Amino acid sequence: MTARAREAAILSQLEWDLKMGRNVQSQILQNHLHPWNGIYFGTHYEPMVEVSGDYFDVVKQGNTMTAIIVDVSGHGIPAALVTMAIHFHFNRYVTQGLGLAEIMEQMGESLKPQLPESTYFTAFIIRIYHDYTYAYINGGHQKVLHFKNDRTVDELDSKGVPLGILDVKKSDYEEMHGKIEPGEYLLMFTDGFTEQKNDLGEEYGHSRFKESFIKARDSIKQEKTNVFSKDIVKSVVSDWKEFKSSQKNGDDLAILLLQCNTTITDALPLVRMAKVSAREKNNADAYSLALQAYKIDPSIKDNLLFLGKMYYNDGKFAESVKFIDEYIRTSGEDTAIIHYLYGKALFNSERLPEAKRALKKSLSCDHTFAKASLLLAKCYLKENAIPKAIKTLQQGIKSTPSNDALKVSLKKLEGITIIRTNTDELSV
């Protein structure tokens, strides 16, 4: 009885650990991805147990979007812990601006010493640029499928080895290129789908996987005007589950589908026309064209920023805040200038707490950005927090000693503080 009680306690603790691991891992897996510049996402993630060795992620950086899919050898907690380390390093190297081969090299160098014995992982990275060209690199993973408008399917592959087995360098990987057109798809997935067996011992296979996708796409096209990637993924997974029937999942599962939406065909020309109208000082037409483009596809990053700036220049700060906020969330741009522009719009909308956060973020991107320091000091002044305003300006001068605007503003504030102090002494 004592042994059974101990066993029950161990199983209960293990179950709790797995659930906790699942909760933690779910924080790094983005199942609901906002579209980026006309690129829409469909995802499916299904661990064989509570936690998974499969992983995908998307990092947006304004004019580029970088996606990765990973399959770690093994299952359960050890494999899941490796995905968390991959997540940290991948995001760090992308935000540092490294090329795809450099990312592979650095991930291999950083992770190999930390991996459990006999553990390795495969990875496929693809980077899409603002003009819809893309670059990709394969580290021993499944080929990515490019479903084209002419009904052909390109299987994207390149020279490369899995990570964690040997020391790797940039030259071990070959970067290849392509372009995704409106209405085309890039399908990234792990081998849990293709290697799954049914009750008869038959494998789902690569060919059936491709056919299932094409069938789902064509079927949805007949039913809906706009075909969205999430609907295709749902249909493909449904076909896969019907095939495997009562068989248990043989592996972890992950899909990341990238769709170049056909809406950009109509939206992008309207954005270009809106910019021409703005240059010609025909603001009424500029607004009309840009808002039409926004209605067709709200993810076009250039249009969001254009509307944000137009509304700001016209003194319509609430509308400006809306579009600049959408631009930051959609594009993923994380620069000092964009957070400063957002902070300015918030400041003029009298939303001071949010303005301060945006300006602090701007300074965290570039502590020498004097305009952000000045505006942050103004926020504190509006709240009558003069000591904080003075401290902000002092920090700004430390970063940019030659900036006269910061020095003049600080001198004025220090003068106000002296006058107030003298007044207080007289009243006492």
Domain ranges of the chain: 12-260
Asked whether 229 and 259 are in contact (CB, 8 A), the reply is yes
63 contacts: CB under 8 Å, gap ≥ 6: 129, 130
Asked whether 104 and 170 are in contact (CB, 8 A), the reply is yes
Amino acid at 408: V
Q: Is the pTM of this model over 0.85?
A: yes
Asked whether 163 and 107 are in contact (CB, 8 A), the reply is yes
Other CB atoms within 10 Å distance of the CB of residue 277: 18
Question: Where are any strands of DSSP class E within 381-421?
Answer: none
Q: Say what the pLDDT of residue 421 is.
A: 44
Q: Say what the pLDDT of residue 166 is.
A: 85
123 contacts: CB under 8 Å, gap ≥ 6: 68, 69, 70, 71, 86, 104, 107, 139, 140, 141, 162, 163
Where the chain has pLDDT below 50, the residues are: 419, 421-428
| Digit-coded pLDDT (tens) for 397-413 | 999 998 899 988 888 88
Residue 408 exposed, middle or buried by CB count within 10 Å (0-12, 13-18, 19+)? exposed
Q: What are the helix (H) ranges across 74-120?
A: 76-95, 100-111
Backbone angles phi, psi at 58, to 5 degrees: -135, 130
Asked whether 200 and 244 are in contact (CB, 8 A), the reply is no
Could you give the CA distance from residue 154 to residue 191 in angstroms, rounded to a whole number? 18
Chain centroid offset of residue 107 CA: 19
Asked whether 127 and 99 are in contact (CB, 8 A), the reply is no
Could you give the CA distance from residue 384 to residue 407 in angstroms, rounded to a whole number? 20
Q: Say what the pLDDT of residue 16 is.
A: 58
Q: Say what the pLDDT of residue 11 is.
A: 65
Backbone angles phi, psi at 187, to 5 degrees: -105, 115
Name the nearest CA neighbour of 177 among 220, 211, 131: 131
Tokens 């495969």, located at residue = 122
Tokens 């491709």, located at residue = 210
Q: Say what the pLDDT of residue 287 is.
A: 96
Rounded mean pLDDT of the chain? 89
Strand ordering across the sheet containing 121-129: 54-60, 64-72, 121-129, 133-139, 176-179
Could you give the CA distance from residue 39 to residue 43 in angstroms, rounded to a whole number? 13
Q: Which residues of 378-403 are buried (b: 16+ CB within 10 A; e: fewer)?
A: bbbbeeeebebbbebbeebbeebeeb
Could you give the CA distance from residue 50 to residue 373 in angstroms, rounded to a whole number? 47
Segment (H or E) for 122 = strand 121-129
Which numeric CATH code is attached to 12-260? 3.60.40.10
Residue 229 exposed, middle or buried by CB count within 10 Å (0-12, 13-18, 19+)? buried
Other CB atoms within 10 Å distance of the CB of residue 279: 9
Name the nearest CA neighbour of 100 among 71, 59, 72: 59
Could you give the CA distance from residue 224 to residue 227 in angstroms, rounded to a whole number? 6
